Structure 1
């Protein structure tokens, strides 16, 4: 049986929409059941991804009666990618902060006429949804994160150079924050090669595109065979979307640690008390299982699940992930009809 999936080249179940959120243009996918919906779910993607990263999850959520909203977050796809000055000034980096993302998600919910939403996230999107729940607790009724564990706001700033001594699996972030991606990946053809590698394409002799302790192997991109996780048409759409603004906006998310720290000083004593589903990808090298130890201290109403995949769990095991989300929602979400 073929798994239902949103066709990225065009699908009647989704609308491509735009909204001005706090002065910046956002593109988002909107899908709604034809006869009203029980609640609205926002799905937030990560790097290097776009709203279509949720293409396997949208159909079953629609079928379950949810209105689904999938924004391209700041710097990605059809959403604005404000420029940021080079270090040390980093002027403009606040556009890529968790606080800004939380404000923009709240504003989009307001424009869509809903005072409360369910949030789902993956990768950076997983980090975002936790922070939205902290900044705007009355907005979020339920939350699920695929792969991304919760990291509580700290009262002391830890630079990335220090953090990687504790978490060497974050070493790649030094390269992403350095400007190397933008300097090596510029044309659409290069973007397509890059994305193919990041999504698991490998070479004939085992060459790979990425290692969490080193970063991107740009010299290998040209020899990689096609990733099994996306069809050719899907990969072409992804390359086209990333070509809109290039790679610079997306990697700005790796340059904003200090801004996020300063913003979150007001949040250090808060917990997330709403129902939370955390799905751990057991083979995720960037976000390994050990990073989720102790989450219950800060997320007391949490359900843990796991799936034996790499970081791209949404695509590698969509039936399993969808089943976990469906089962959890059936337990924690009481239906309320809206029109």
Structure 2
């Protein structure tokens, strides 16, 4: 156990607990546990926080689920190891497996958005017996590329792609985001964005220094403050280190079954820059695909519709 700063949430939200798992301490939010509850683990993306699931938690709990929402390592009041390799996919999925052990569960439903979706897809590969069902938002399953991820992306998208930039120029973007935390988050978490061609340069650094946001805000100022306060505390390096393990993950997954066998729900945002996956059913044969009329921040842009899609699928 460790002492942590108190976070004041503007909406009803579970109180945080500090839980030691897999060599780190994670900040975990949960709803009351009972013998009849099925566990459902909600995994946030980048640059987010467990608070991203604030709209879904009450409805899932009311439906009978024991809702477990960690701030994953590198975020919020969870530990932020210095070593870059402390954020590879084996470690991240190991945290979730250890979290199930802590609560005494053999398996759970796992839900992930953005980077959290990537962790959940990998959880189904590396710990298949721990995943009863999985739900991914925004990021469809990514089949392994012919060459390591960053080399592959650099060839296709160039050196200014933010995945590539994070890896090839370590520390550069981290500093810009740390110096412009609130502006970056305000400019990033937008919806109903106008159709504009991509600007030259590195997208995330451009957002951090943009004079004004585009589109409409995804969250209130009070909700944005929760996110900004969390990143002012941690900085961005620990969360960006997830990206700096993509090539390491490519090697770690080399001999793993590429087929996702568990029942899966894939929720897309029709306005998201991430396109729907072609032929997803070839590698995820038990998948149901749903598209909602929103951008990337699906569960925050259309909270009621997202919750309904999740509960309807789980109830089938």
Shorter-chain TM range is 0.7 to 0.9
The equivalent of 2:44 in structure 1 is 45
Is the CA contact (8 Å cut-off) linking 1:42 and 1:119 kept in structure 2? yes
- Kept in 1, the 8 Å contact 2:191–2:216? The answer is yes
Q: CA deviation at 1:17?
A: 0.9
Partner of residue 271 from structure 1, selected from 254, 259, 270: 259
1:302 aligned partner: 287
Cα drift, residue 213 of structure 1: 7.8
Post-superposition CA distance 1:214-245 (Å, at most 9, x none): 41215744434895211111111111111221
Matched, 1:234 2:223: yes
The normalised TM-score by structure 1 is 0.82
Mapped contact 2:53–2:299 kept (Cα < 8 A): yes
Corresponding residue number in structure 2 for 1:95: 86
Question: 1-side partners of 2:41 and 2:200: how far apart?
Answer: 29
Tell me how far apart the structure 1 counterparts of residues 226 and 20 of structure 2 sit (CA, whole Å).
Answer: 24
Note the 1:13-32 alignment, pairs <5 A. Answer: 14-32=14-32
Q: Does 1:63 align with 2:51?
A: no
Note the C-alpha offset of 1:96: 1.1
1:325 aligns with 2:310: yes
Contact 1:173 1:215 in 2 (8 A): no
Deviates more, 1:36-45 or 1:294-303: 36-45
SS in 1 for 2:112: strand
Contact 2:18 2:26 in 1 (8 A): yes
Name the CA distance, whole Å, in 2 between partners of 1:280 and 1:274.
19
In structure 1, stretches of 5+ residues that fail to align are: 1-6, 84-91, 332-339
- Displacement of 1:249 in angstroms is 0.7
Pick from 132, 138, 150 the counterpart of residue 141 of structure 1. Answer: 132
1:17-41 C-alpha deviation (Å, 9 max, x unpaired): 11112211111111136x6543000
- Please, what TM-score do these two structures have when normalized by structure 2? 0.87
Candidates 108, 114, 125, aligned match of 2:116: 125
Partner of 1:114: 105
The alpha-carbon distance between structure 1 residues 226 and 304, as it changes in their structure 2 partners (threshold 3 A), is closer
Contact 2:18 2:25 in 1 (8 A): yes
Q: Which runs of 5+ in 2 are unaligned?
A: 1-6
Equivalent residue for 2:96, pick from 105, 117, 135: 105
Looking at structure 2, the residues matched to 252 and 302 of structure 1 have their Cα atoms a distance apart, in angstroms, of 30
Helix, strand or coil for the counterpart of 2:234?
coil
Mapping 1:79-228, distance limit 5 Å: 79-83=78-82, 92-154=83-145, 156-166=146-156, 171-177=161-167, 178=169, 179-187=171-179, 190-200=180-190, 214-216=202-204, 217=206, 220-224=209-213, 228=217
Q: 1:304 to 1:201 in 2, by over 3 A?
A: closer
Please name the residue that 1:314 is paired with.
299
Aligned residue-pair number: 306
Computed over aligned residues only, the root mean square deviation of the Cα atoms, in angstroms, reads: 2.9
Whole-Å separation in 1 of the counterparts to 2:163 and 2:221: 28
